[in-house]
């Protein structure tokens, strides 16, 4: 597989920061997932089968419900529309949606319909049995009319639409096509997580998100290599009028294929525990990124990182913004220094991710106008005190206020790039204020590092860090090294800035 370089991280972080402004309309099959854990210690005397001694169970939303769950956990708003049964499983789904703060007036309930439920029984984290309770049933005329009415009412509030088809009947018999037509008329993008072999039912959708196996089934042949993926996707685009296809490829990442272009995004190497619901996370993240202003390749890069996180979890998993930010940061690698230049919001999410991983986070700040040995020594010493180091960098306007109209010599972009390339620095954040107090309050680092020319009492933010349980470290400076001194030598030699 040809690996293409991932998009620049800054627009990806900007897209993540806008997730909170996005509303996604989700229509499809809502499923109740039940996970029963236990141990097997004997074989039944009644039949040659193991006896599972239950040790606990957990309920979660599956299918379209898991899409909604991921959208909410990523900080966005979701509007669910579907028809479920007026039964115990349906009650559980309504209760869980309510706990997420999601309105459920778009979920019609019918006593003649069974809410799909899947029970998974596991021993020592190994699934030994799955028990499904469901009835594959298309919508009645009355149910269909109600769903369309709820959909039209909700569409005006939504930025993007997801059709989550798990083949249980909600989107059968032309319902998916009718919803897609309504979206097209309203100018709203619609993404489909497809099911089955016949993708004609999704004709006109903005994009579909099949996995490699589903893509092959849709064109009637096996697909593996890049060119086979592209050919299959373009066959579907030509036949059904999709704008593009986003194909998930397990350990090979994702492919984004349009009629004229194709991009292949390599996955991150991660230990896989459970792929349950990973596709739900992928389409939820992809939709949010698109609605937040990312192009389809950027959106796929975010969705790819998201999928890499949830396959490392057990059960039907959902993703947080902090986990996505951490995965995105790791995906660009330590040598891609542009990845380390973040805004305050992205840095706060990354710091939260590092802390959740049990890493200590340090912080230091300064103008760092002309980098010299004293700066390098300070940053090396600061990094030695923590697992990750964030550097707060004064903006150009801030430097001018502090140092005078002739400063800085190097603008904030150049200074940030040089600093981010240092092995001792894990993230750089430019701040506009004269002091980094607001940034320190947002990040709450474990360790605050400054030069020994300060005292603890004069270090900005020391009280904030100490109150939060952190500490202040003062490190020795290299004598005779300063940007002001360097500029003085240059001017003495007849060189001016």
Residues at the binding site for ATP are 211-214
Closest CA to 148 of 25, 282, 281, 252: 25
Strand order through the sheet with 254-258: 107-110, 77-85, 23-28, 160-164, 190-193, 207-208, 244-248, 254-258, 262-265
CA distances from 289 to 14, 18, 251, 369, 449 (A): 10, 8, 22, 35, 36
Q: Tell me, what DSSP letter sits at residue 132?
A: E
Bridge partner residues of 299 (DSSP) = none
Residue 269 near residue 180 (C-beta atoms within 8 A)? no
Instruction: Report d(CA 72, CA 74) in Å as an integer.
Output: 5
CA distances from 35 to 32, 51, 192, 370 (A): 10, 16, 27, 58
Bridge partner residues of 268 (DSSP) = none
Residue 77 near residue 103 (C-beta atoms within 8 A)? no
Residue 249 near residue 224 (C-beta atoms within 8 A)? no
Closest CA to 296 of 177, 378, 390, 209: 209
Residue 208 near residue 246 (C-beta atoms within 8 A)? yes
Counting DSSP H helices and E strands in the chain, the numbers are: 17, 19
Instruction: Report d(CA 153, CA 290) in Å as an integer.
Output: 22
Burial class from Cβ neighbours inside 10 Å (0-12, 13-18, 19+) for residue 345 reads middle
Residue that is written with structure tokens 């893509």 in the block: 215
Q: Is 87 a residue of the active site? A: no
* Binding-site residue set: 211-214
Catalytic residue among 87, 110, 280, 426: 280
Contacts of 322 by beta carbon, 8 Å cutoff, 6+ apart: 349, 350, 352, 353, 356
Residue 477 near residue 377 (C-beta atoms within 8 A)? yes
Could you give the residue numbers annotated as active site? 280
């Amino acid at each position: 597989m040809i690996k293409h370089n991932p998009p620049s991280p800054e627009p990806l972080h900007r897209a993540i920061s806008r997730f909170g402004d996005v509303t996604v309309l989700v229509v499809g099959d809502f499923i109740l997932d039940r996970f029963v854990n236990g141990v097997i210690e004997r074989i039944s005397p009644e039949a040659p089968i193991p006896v599972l001694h239950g040790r606990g169970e957990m309920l979660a939303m599956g299918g379209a419900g898991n899409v909604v769950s991921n959208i909410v956990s990523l900080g966005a708003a979701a509007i669910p529309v579907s028809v479920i049964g007026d039964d115990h499983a349906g009650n559980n789904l309504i209760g869980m949606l309510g706990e997420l703060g999601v309105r459920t007036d778009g979920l019609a309930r019918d006593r003649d319909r069974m809410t799909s439920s899947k029970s998974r029984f596991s021993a020592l984290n190994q699934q030994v049995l799955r028990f499904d309770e469901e009835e594959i049933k298309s919508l009645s005329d009355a149910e269909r009319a109600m769903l369309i009415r709820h959909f039209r009412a909700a569409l005006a509030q939504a930025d993007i639409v997801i059709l989550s088809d798990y083949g249980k009947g909600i989107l059968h018999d032309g319902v998916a096509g009718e919803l897609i037509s309504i979206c097209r008329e309203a100018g709203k993008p619609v993404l489909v997580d497809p099911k089955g072999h016949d993708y004609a039912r999704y004709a006109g959708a903005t994009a579909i998100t099949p996995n490699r196996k589903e893509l092959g089934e849709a064109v009637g042949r096996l697909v593996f290599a890049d060119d086979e993926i592209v050919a299959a996707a373009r066959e579907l685009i030509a036949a059904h009028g999709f704008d593009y296809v986003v194909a998930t490829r397990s350990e090979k990442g994702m492919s984004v294929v349009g009629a004229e272009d194709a991009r292949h995004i390599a996955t991150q190497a991660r230990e896989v525990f459970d792929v349950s619901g990973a596709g739900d996370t992928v389409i939820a993240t992809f939709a949010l990124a698109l609605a937040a202003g990312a192009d389809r390749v950027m959106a796929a890069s975010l969705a790819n990182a998201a999928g890499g996180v949830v396959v490392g979890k057990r059960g039907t998993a959902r993703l947080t913004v902090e986990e996505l930010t951490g995965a995105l940061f790791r995906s660009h690698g330590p040598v891609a220094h542009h990845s380390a230049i973040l805004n305050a919001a992205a840095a706060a999410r990354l710091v939260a991710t590092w802390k959740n991983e049990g890493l200590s986070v340090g912080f230091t700040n300064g103008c760092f106008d002309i980098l010299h040995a004293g700066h390098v020594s300070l940053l090396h010493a600061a990094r030695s005190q923590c697992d990750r180091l964030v550097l707060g960098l004064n903006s150009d306007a801030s430097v001018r206020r502090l140092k005078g109209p002739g400063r800085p010599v190097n603008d904030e972009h150049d200074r940030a790039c040089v600093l981010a390339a240092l092995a001792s620095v894990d993230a750089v954040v430019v701040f506009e204020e004269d002091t980094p107090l607001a940034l320190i309050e947002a990040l709450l680092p474990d360790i605050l590092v400054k030069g020994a020319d300060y005292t603890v009492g004069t270090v900005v933010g020391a009280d904030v860090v100490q109150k939060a349980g952190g500490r202040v470290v003062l490190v020795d400076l290299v004598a005779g090294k300063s940007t002001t001194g360097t500029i003085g030598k240059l001017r003495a030699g007849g060189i001016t800035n």
